[in-house]
Amino acid sequence: MERYWSRLAQPRSYDRLLDSIDTKVIPLLERFPAIGRLFLDSMPDNCDALLACEKLIEATGGSTQRAELREHIFDDYVLLYWLGGQTVKLLSIRRSKELSLDFDHIWDPER
């Protein structure tokens, strides 16, 4: 995210993200760790995503309490996190509007 906001010459937006994580997201996940929606409840739309999801399911299958991959939406961001018991691991943070604002970067001019 820091690289994204730096590329747009808006470093204060990155600072606001960090502040939001510290003041909103972490306290919320500490109190309600299962607040995010189950990520694997949605069907993957390509083969690579399906295989990655299968690996995640297999990796958590042997434990006494199955871990969950969850996503939580806050401000303009989507947080992907791993929940195993009361342990939360932040995995990925993406700006939810990033794709819709950056089509030229994603797709070449022929599309």
40 domain-assigned: yes
Compute the C-alpha angle 38/43/46, nearest 5°: 130
Low-confidence winner among 3-7, 76-80, 98-102 (lowest mean pLDDT): 98-102
Q: Which domain holds residue 67?
A: 2-106
Pick from 18, 31, 10, 1: nearest CA to 92: 1
Q: How confident is the prediction for the chain on average, in pLDDT?
A: 77
Helices (H), the chain: 2-7, 11-20, 26-31, 47-61, 98-101, 103-106
How far apart CA 86 and CA 99 sit, in angstroms, is 32
111 domain-assigned: no
71 domain-assigned: yes
Q: Number of folded domains in the chain?
A: 1
How far apart CA 17 and CA 8 sit, in angstroms, is 15
32 domain-assigned: yes
51 domain-assigned: yes
75 domain-assigned: yes
80 domain-assigned: yes
Residues 7-20, mean pLDDT to the nearest whole number: 86
15 domain-assigned: yes
What pLDDT, in 10s, does the model give residues 48-75?
A: 777 777 776 676 555 555 678 889 999 8
Contacts 24+ apart (CB under 8 A), 23-32: 24/74, 24/75, 25/72, 25/74, 25/79, 28/72, 29/72, 29/81, 29/88, 30/88
pLDDT of 93 reads 87
